[in-house]
Amino acid sequence: MLISLAAVIGGFILLVWSADRFVIGASSIASNLGVSPLVIGLTIVGFGTSAPEILISVFSALQDIPAMGVGNAIGSNIANIGLILGTSALISPMLISSGILNREMPFLIAAMLLALILIWNLSLSALDAYFLLALLAFILVWMIYKGLKERDNGDPLQSEFNDEISTNMTLKVACLWLMVGLFILVGSSRALVWGASNIATYFGVSDLVIGLTIVAIGTSLPELAASIVSVLKKEYDIAIGNIIGSNIFNILAVMAVPGLFQTVAVDSVVLYRDIPVMFALTFVMILFAYSWKNRPGRITRTSGLLLLVCFLGYQGAVFLDS
């Protein structure tokens, strides 16, 4: 038990560090190749912050516990909004004014609706996974197209990415950090899945519950760190953009991975408890963050506290149900 606990804690620590190195390396490589900061921010950064969830999902499927991967995808989305956005807003009220984010929000809703339709029969097959990945490919192409088209439109998100994404790192150093980050991501993800599975067995709870709670919170730590740093720098559009992008990747990539290995049986509790909570928090986030023509989106400290209380209540409900 102590070894399993050490594997989980050590896995979380290394996940946060290696995900940061991976994102920095990938972003710097793209910058050296002449890719605009806006395109990097909309695609590479979103993928990089979801890399822990993707690898957890891969190793969960390889170790024949795919329910942990499905739970991680849904649980991470809930944690990103309830825990991370709530905590960030408590640190500093957030003003959201990016039109690009307004256009990303419908894609997040579309991704969740597609996932709900595909798992309505309580299974996730390889064909379902291909549908999810196809929508992800379409969204990525759209983001790249819009990023190239609007690189000089003065959107607040573009300005924040221009300030944040560094081009000082040489291509050789960037490749080194990319490989180091990826290598440690793989090792720490595998250790975390092994330890979390042992803990679930010890306490007699399902792999789904562990994925929805402990693993989901742990794999959301990179997003938490990125959002807090962005909020402290008053880069509110990046903070909310990281959450929206990560949630899209979680639904369309992380949830798809287990289905690529085997047909996954989805617990009915996901449909009547977890999916509704994810939808509810997402709609609340959009209600707060959507920026109209004459009014930026506002996420106040009161709104942040509401999101955080909802998240803690959900976590309590999951543990009570288990």
**Three-class SS string for 269-316?**
HHHHHHHHHHHHHHHHHHHHHCCECCECEEECHHHHHHHHHHHHHHHH
pLDDT at 202: 81
- Backbone φ, ψ for residue 167 (5° rounding): -120, 15
Give the pLDDT of residue 145. Answer: 81
What mean pLDDT do residues 110-136 have? Answer: 95
Domain residue ranges in the chain: 2-321
Q: Does domain 2-321 have CATH number 3.30.1330.10?
A: no
151 falls in which pLDDT band (50, 70, 90)? low
8 Å CB contact between 202 and 194: no
For the ranges 10-14, 29-33, 78-82, 147-151, the lowest mean pLDDT is seen at 147-151
318/147: higher pLDDT = 318
The DSSP element (H or E) to which 124 belongs, if any, is strand 123-124
Kindly provide the b/e burial profile for residues 228-248, where b requires at least 16 CB atoms within 10 angstroms of the residue's own CB: bebbeeebbbbbbbbbbbbbb
* Model pLDDT, residue 283: 94
Residue 232 CA to its chain's centroid (Å): 20
Structure token digits, residue 82: 């309830």
Residue range 312-318: mean pLDDT, rounded: 93
How far is C-alpha 83 from the chain's CA centre? 12
Interval 284-299 mean pLDDT: 82
Q: Is the pLDDT of residue 158 over 80?
A: no
**Rounded to whole angstroms, how far apart are CA atoms 308 and 83?**
5
Handedness of CA 274, 276, 281, 286 (dihedral sign): positive
Task: Give the length of the chain.
Answer: 322
pLDDT of residue 134: 96
Average pLDDT of the segment spanning 25-31: 77
Check residue 163 and give its pLDDT: 65
Q: Name residue 164's amino acid.
A: E
pLDDT in tens, 239-270: 888 888 889 999 999 999 999 998 999 999 99
pLDDT in the model for residue 321: 83
pLDDT at 136 over 90: yes
Residue 166 in this model has a pLDDT that exceeds 70: no
Q: Mean pLDDT across the stretch 291-305?
A: 83
pLDDT at position 155 = 65
CA distances from 48 to 97, 213, 222 (A): 24, 21, 9
Residue 213 above 70 pLDDT? yes
Contact 73, 53 (CB under 8 A): yes
Mean pLDDT for all residues in the chain: 84
Q: Smallest Cα–Cα separation from 146: which of 102, 202, 85? A: 102
- The DSSP letter of residue 264 is E
Q: What percent of the chain has pLDDT over 90?
A: 34
Q: What is the pLDDT of residue 279?
A: 96
